[in-house]
Amino acid sequence: MTTGTDEIYQSKADHRARQRYRRHVIVGQIALVAVVIAVWHFGSGRLFDPFFVGSPLGVAKVLLGDLRDPRFWNDVRVTVTEMTLGYVLGGLGGIALGVLLARWRLAADILDPLFTGLNSLPRIALAPLLVIWFGIDMASKVVLAATLVFFLTFFTTLSGIRNVDPALVDVARLVGASERQIFRYVMLPGAAAWIINGLKMSLPYALIGVIVGELLIASSGLGYRLNSYSTSYNTNGTFAMLLVMMALMMRLNALMGLVERYVLRWKADTTATIQTY
C-alpha cells in the first residue's frame, strides 16, 4: 500500500511521461508530413511525371481556388449532410437490431445466413439499383452510406452483447436483478466498447458510400467535384479533393474519439480506483 504522497508523485510522473509521448508523436507526424511533401515537391518533374502525380504547389493552388468558391462549400455541405444522415440511420438501425437479436437467439440464428450474404454484396453493385429505387438526389447516397454502416454496427453490437462475461450476469441474478435490469445495467454497458468500436469503424465507410454514390451520379457533392477533376485529367484537383476528404475524416475521427472517451469514462474511473488499492 503506497502513501498518499507517493501516489501524487507517481501520478505527476505518469502525466509528464504521457505529455512527452504525445509531443514525440506530434513531432513525428509533422516530420513525416514534411518529408512526404518535400519528396513530392522535388520529385515532381524530376523523378515523377507531374501529369500523373501533380505537385504540392499545384494542389495548394487548386485548394485556394476552391476555398474561395461558394460552390465548393455547397459541395461540402451536401456530402456532410448525406454522410451524417446515412451514418445516423445505419448506426441506429444496426444497434437496435443487434440489441433485439441478442435477446432473441432463435431469430438471430435463423437470420444469420441472410445477413452474412447481404453483407458480402459489394455496395458499388447496389448503387445503380439504389439510384433506380430512390432517384438521383440525396436519398440514394444516404441509403448507400446507411447500408455500409448498418452491418458493421449490427455485427459488433450483437457480438458485444453475446461476449459479456457470464459471471457478471450470474452475480446480477444472485442479487435479485430482473432480466430487464440485467440487460440494461450489465449487458449493454459490457457491450459499450464493442458498439463504440463498430461506430468508429463504420465512420469512414459512411463517407465512402456517399462518395461512391456521388461519383456515379450527382450534380453536387465532393464526389461530384472529384469526378469532375479526374475526368478532365486534372491531377492536382483530384489530389486536392482527396486531401479534403482525408481532412474531413480526420476531424470526424477526432470527434468520435471524444465521444468514445465520454461514453467509456467509467472504465478509466474503474481502472484508477483499482490502481489506488
Per-residue pLDDT band at 87 (split at 50, 70, 90): very high
**8-12, 78-82, 129-133, 194-198 — most confident range:** 78-82
Q: Same structural domain for residues 24 and 143?
A: no
> Would you say residue 196 has pLDDT above 50?
yes
146 and 172 assigned to the same domain: yes
> Which residue type is seen at 40?
W
The 10s digit of each residue's pLDDT in 39-58 is 888 888 888 888 888 888 99
Same structural domain for residues 158 and 241? yes
Q: Are residues 165 and 269 in the same domain?
A: yes
Indicate if the pLDDT at residue 78 is higher than 90. yes
- 22 and 132 fall within a common domain: no
Residues of the chain above pLDDT 70, percent: 91
* pLDDT band at residue 264 using 50, 70 and 90 as cut-offs: confident
Q: Please report the DSSP string for 53-77 in residue order.
A: H--HHHHHHHHHHHHT-HHHHHHHH
pLDDT classification of 95: cutoffs 50, 70, 90: very high
Instruction: For 233-243, write each residue's pLDDT tens digit.
Output: 899 999 999 99
Mean pLDDT is lowest, of 99-103, 219-223, 268-272, for 268-272
Residue 271 CB partners (closer than 8 Å, separation 6+): none
Q: Identify whether residues 202 and 224 lie together within a single domain.
A: yes
Quick one: average pLDDT of 150-162? 90
For residues 77 and 37, membership in a common domain is answered with no
Pair 88, 208 in one domain: yes
Give the pLDDT of residue 83: 93
Same domain, 24 and 140: no
- Rounded to whole angstroms, the Cα distance separating 261 from 242 reads 29
Going by pLDDT thresholds of 50, 70 and 90, the confidence category of residue 266 is low
The share of the chain scoring above pLDDT 90, in percent, equals: 30
Answer yes or no: is pLDDT of 4 > 70.
Answer: no
Better pLDDT: 176 or 142? 142
Compute the mean pLDDT over every residue in the chain, rounded to the nearest whole number: 84
Is 145 exposed, middle or buried (CB count within 10 Å of its CB: 0-12, 13-18, 19+)? buried
Same domain (yes/no): 144, 23: no
Judged against a pLDDT cut of 90, whether residue 127 lies above it is answered with no
CATH code of residue 122: 1.10.3720.10
CA distance 242 to 103: 42
Q: At what angle do helices 188-216 and 70-103 cross, to 10 degrees?
A: 140
pLDDT at residue 8 in the model = 60
User: Domain range for residue 84?
Assistant: 52-276
55 φ, ψ (degrees, to nearest 5): -155, 155
Q: How far are the Cα atoms of 69, 91, 111, 252, 254 from residue 116, in angstroms, in the given order?
A: 44, 17, 9, 28, 31
Q: Cell 507517493 identifies what position?
A: 6
Per-residue confidence (pLDDT) for residue 194, from 0 to 100: 87
Residue 169 CB-half CA count within 13 A:
14
Residues 18, 88: one domain?
Answer: no
Q: Indicate the number of domains in the chain.
A: 2
Residues 112, 98: contact at Cβ < 8 Å? no
The answer on 108 and 159 residing in a single domain is yes
Residue range 189-212: mean pLDDT, rounded = 88
Band (pLDDT 50/70/90 cuts) for residue 273 is very low
